Amino acid sequence: MLLIVTMTPWTVVGRSPTDAELRQAIELAKAELAQRTKVFSAGDIIPKETGAQHKLGVVHSSTPMSVELSQCAWVLENVAEHFMSSQYNVSFEELTRVASTNLTSMCDVTSMKPVTCDPPAIPEFRSADGRCNNRAHPLWGSAEQPQKRLLPSEYSDGFKVPRVTARNGAPLPSARQVSSTLHEDFRKSSSVNTYMVMQFGQFLDHDITLTPNFQEEGLVCECDSQDDRCFNIPVSTDDEDFSSTPCITFARSRSSPNEGCRMGPRQQINQITAFIDASNVYGSSEEEMEALRDTEEPEEMRGPNLALGRPTGQSSVAFSGVPGRAVDGNTNGVYNSGQSCTHTRTVVNSWWYVDLGSSHHIDEVVIFNRQDCCSERLNSFRLHVGDSPDVASNPLCGGDHVVTSGQETISVDCGGRQGRYVGVLLPTRQPLTLCEVQVYEAQGICPPGYTRYRRSCFKVTQTAKDFTSAAASCAEDGGILATPKDNATNTFLVHLKNHVSTEAPFWFGLSDRHVEGEWRWEDGTILRDGDFTDWLPGEPEISGREDCVNFLAGAGSKWNDVPCRRRRGYICQVDLISTSPRGLLKSRPNPADPEKKELLPGAMAEEFEMGCPDHESDGEETCSQAGDVRVNEQPGLTSMHTVFLREHNRIARQLSTINRLWNGDRVFLETRKIVGALMQKIVYGEDLPHVLGPDAMVRFNLSLTEDGFYQGYDENANPTISNAFSTAAYRFGHSLVDDKFTRATPDYTPGTKCPIQLALSFFNPSHIFDNDQGGPDSIIRGLISQSSELFDRFMVSGLTKHLFADPPGSVGLDLAALNIQRGRDHGLPGYNAWRERCGLHRAHGFDDLEAEIPDWVTRHRLSSVYTDVDDIDLFAGGLAEKSVPGGVVGPTFACLIGMQFRELRMGDRFWFENSGQFTPDQLAEIKNTTLARILCDNTDGTTHMQPDVFTLPRTGNEMVACSSLRQIDLTKWQA
């Protein structure tokens, strides 16, 4: 139970705490935090959370940095309480002005540490975490930052205790009582809007907001808990659904330091990027994005087996094991004399080779080892590649390759070594047996002006630049300054630069400019003792003055370190560019029908598996992973994630073909940029006009430009998500939810597919894999052909009674009550204050609400549960309003949502309509693309769809052939 503390007029004193007093208070708070966060000691009984609690924890799961932020905030709150105690009696207002580095430095280990942005790259793409979007305010809109306030918080103590007291001093009504009184299950379907209004809204919400809570710390908020991280919802004994328990458990949202890491009222975290950047597809950190990328080298990159059927030779023949047996395509590992394997006599240094006919860059050699009863198999061997049939005279690929017992195949990485002959030589006296040898050349091409060596491409530029500028020039080509890590590469680069000039020095990618004496290659690896070097005698100098390395002028190969500011020619290095599809996101084939379109990848991280353990199996019908942890929450959401995964990979495959010289990173980042732009176009061009109506679109300047670029970018516009938006206003879609998802066949024949009951669908991936019912494709078609519920105060029992229930369909949680309690947890002012903030008159009584809440029954319900109009919670009041003309939401939510999306557009340097983001032709293609066409392209069997998928088919929005809908023309991206 939460201790109720009324607001206290803290006394102002004449001084702030001294630095010494602050340091002492901080150390005391940290010691108390360490004690507080200790793991339960042995013998303590750890309460077991229910299945519903567990699933609620998943959708509010925390990153390690969010945990760090909340611990930092707890220390700051503890310090503030220390100085507001009777011993010091410092006012809260005075403490908010303290700017000591003892406090602000506490955030230096968190995502709130101030950052300096690097010079923009060319081309420049969004960072995964949103940092440096605004170069003047680098943290605005980025992940793991405090949400902003549009009105000051109203905590019961003015500081951090939730809003629990009514204007008359009595407790506010229980959030569950408000829910059961106001948000009953009374269903009225829209005659205009499809279920896609709800589903796209949730998908978008998961691109821009995620508020983590304390539940993940092993916290289980039992009804009698005194833990201040708990804020349980009381349940009356006569409650029709929840009377079996005295409360609905509720863990508070994680706290965040205030901006600038100062003491102040409690704030909450937005764990993901605020920008509309498709972070729900790609993640909100580099680590999340890399985990989702398909970076495996495609088979096409390896190319054909060069050895198959080529001429061979060997040192001798025994048991009819002629050398050609090793290149006949028979990989049978069981020796059969004269049929499948080679065999030599038992002599010293037996050898075998294959003649490839011409010189190739050998990437990998695969040897199929003989597996029989005898000892005459490979034990240790050497692999040589070169241009001589004399095997031993050719350079080695590595040293001695030791074969472990029972090893059937051995792969040797030759790193692109060049040669016509590939040979195997034994270092001891043994017979040589080979069942099959396969030789592969790394496939790919070099950009114009580059020369291939092994797996990389190199270019020498004589134009003199300082080291940093030279590195930046290489980065423009997607590469780095060259890294001659071995003698062979060093010799090649000397030969290459001498073709350009023997008179000039040339930079390559080695320096100790970051840590004196720690020589680091530009790919990030450190030069270790014993590694290859070619220093000029007496070098390098460890003085702090000479930090960057070049080849000396002349025809030689010697290295010398010199000041990085000097101007030199330079050598760039880039990877080979594959000609196969690249830049893809990971996916998995449909396990029942691989001919169908791909599905999301299976859960790779624990947080994605946690939500649906009841549905996990040893098979392939498992939870999915995407850019947002809530992907498995319900099948409509999972289906939308599936569509956008497919759209990314569809675009990436085409860009791989159109731009053969783009490497995988460039293809991926360009595709991510396009998908993010398509999200922005759909939001502002299709979704928001239906949600907000025409007046709000004009009031907040949300309409897309008709021609030309957008001129409204403002570095003083803060796109950070507001607390009122994430905690109340953008939860309007909960009113639109139906108790079922309708599936639709490709011809939309009604009643031919079984609907999915909402209460049975939470964290249940089986619906996505049910091909008999159409998988995600029939769910998508259902979303655009099924009506949404009307926007009103009513919510279906699948949300207010059965949310996350375990077992499914039983009593679970009440989402309306959770939303109301969350607003109080965050200290959101009441509905009346937000009316005033949005330009409506402040109501003095319940009848003053008539213009926005014309239904007298609704006003009566409000007055029956709240004693004062100022007590009405924002979520409850916002849902009670009638829809604005031409829109879904009422005027207060239209205002709060409109303000947020205005800032998300004005404050986004990478907004798709901004000059420099796309060419005019590319921008036109994005604007001509609709969600309808994206759904057509990325669902199996869909041939028809209405152009506006947010409204039901009707005159002017009839079903049309998918082929008649404009598809984005990616040739406009041809470099």
pLDDT computed for residue 578 by the predictor: 78
Total Cβ atoms within 10 A of residue 596: 17
pLDDT computed for residue 334 by the predictor: 55
Are residues 775 and 175 in contact, defined by beta-carbon separation less than 8 angstroms?
Answer: no
pLDDT computed for residue 663 by the predictor: 87
Q: Which residues of 103-112 are buried (b: 16+ CB within 10 A; e: fewer)?
A: bbebbeebbb
Three-class DSSP category at 797: helix
- Beta-carbon-side half-sphere exposure of residue 628 (alpha carbons within 13 Å): 34
Crossing angle of helices 688-699 and 196-208, rounded to 10°: 70
- Among 285, 273, 228, CA closest to 253: 228
Are residues 320 and 409 in contact, defined by beta-carbon separation less than 8 angstroms?
Answer: no
pLDDT computed for residue 300 by the predictor: 53
341: Cβ contacts below 8 Å, ≥ 6 apart: 321, 325, 326, 335, 370, 433, 434, 435
Q: Which domains does the chain have, with CATH numbers?
A: 19-39+48-177+208-292 (no CATH), 304-441 (2.60.120.260), 451-575 (3.10.100.10)
852: Cβ contacts below 8 Å, ≥ 6 apart: 835, 840, 881, 882, 890, 891, 892
pTM above 0.85, yes or no: no
Total Cβ atoms within 10 A of residue 959: 15
Residue type, 585: L
pLDDT computed for residue 207 by the predictor: 98
Q: Which residue has the tokens 């949400």?
A: 147
Sheet bearing 145-146, strands edge to edge: 145-146, 267-270, 255-256
Q: Which residue has the tokens 């947020």?
A: 900
| Cis ω before 807 (30° cut-off from 0) | yes
DSSP state, residue 844: S
Q: Which residues of 658-671 are buried (b: 16+ CB within 10 A; e: fewer)?
A: ebebbbbebbbbbb
Residue type, 307: A
Residue 964 parent element (H or E) = none
Residue type, 858: T
Q: Would you state the structure tokens that stand for residue 729, as one six-digit string?
A: 């206003």
Residue type, 363: D
Residue 608 backbone dihedrals phi, psi, to 5 degrees = -85, -25
Are residues 434 and 383 in contact, defined by beta-carbon separation less than 8 angstroms?
Answer: no
Q: Which residue has the tokens 């001695």?
A: 400
Dihedral sign, Cα of residue 922, residue 924, residue 928, residue 931: positive
Are residues 327 and 357 in contact, defined by beta-carbon separation less than 8 angstroms?
Answer: no
Q: What is the mean pLDDT of each run of 10 residues along the chain (975 residues)?
A: 42 70 94 76 62 91 95 96 87 91 94 93 93 97 98 96 97 98 96 98 98 87 93 96 95 96 96 98 97 78 85 92 89 59 90 95 86 64 95 91 77 86 94 90 85 91 97 92 94 95 96 92 94 94 87 94 96 88 94 93 88 60 93 97 98 93 92 98 98 98 96 98 98 98 94 93 94 96 98 98 94 98 98 98 97 98 98 98 98 98 98 97 98 98 97 97 97 94
Three-class DSSP category at 616: coil
Give the E-state strand segments of 500-600 in sequence order.
Answer: 506-511, 520-521, 548-551, 559-562, 568-575
Q: Which residue has the tokens 């930046």?
A: 472
428: Cβ contacts below 8 Å, ≥ 6 apart: 348, 380
Q: Would you state the structure tokens that stand for residue 398, as one six-digit string?
A: 């590595």
529: Cβ contacts below 8 Å, ≥ 6 apart: none
Are residues 970 and 651 in contact, defined by beta-carbon separation less than 8 angstroms?
Answer: yes
Give the E-state strand segments of 73-227 in sequence order.
Answer: 145-146, 189-194
Following CA atoms 492, 495, 499, 501 in sequence, which dihedral angle do they give, to the nearest 10 degrees?
A: 110
771: Cβ contacts below 8 Å, ≥ 6 apart: 590, 592, 593, 596
- Among 527, 523, 553, 555, CA closest to 540: 527
Burial label for 963, CB within 10 Å (0-12, 13-18, 19+), is exposed
Q: What angle do CA 292, 297, 302 make, to 5 degrees?
A: 170
Are residues 796 and 185 in contact, defined by beta-carbon separation less than 8 angstroms?
Answer: yes
Are residues 159 and 749 in contact, defined by beta-carbon separation less than 8 angstroms?
Answer: no
593: Cβ contacts below 8 Å, ≥ 6 apart: 771
- Among 451, 454, 447, 440, CA closest to 488: 454
274: Cβ contacts below 8 Å, ≥ 6 apart: 130, 141, 142, 208, 209, 719, 720, 721, 904
pLDDT computed for residue 2 by the predictor: 46
pLDDT computed for residue 41 by the predictor: 42
Distance CA 430, CA 427 (A): 9
Q: Which residues of 820-837 are buried (b: 16+ CB within 10 A; e: fewer)?
A: bbbbbbbbbbbbbbbbeb
pLDDT computed for residue 373 by the predictor: 46
Are residues 394 and 419 in contact, defined by beta-carbon separation less than 8 angstroms?
Answer: yes
315: Cβ contacts below 8 Å, ≥ 6 apart: 344, 345, 347, 349, 350, 351, 352, 432
Dihedral sign, Cα of residue 260, residue 263, residue 267, residue 268: positive
pLDDT computed for residue 12 by the predictor: 43
Are residues 884 and 894 in contact, defined by beta-carbon separation less than 8 angstroms?
Answer: yes
Largest Cα–Cα distance of the chain, in whole Å?
A: 105
**Cα 213 off chain centre by:** 19
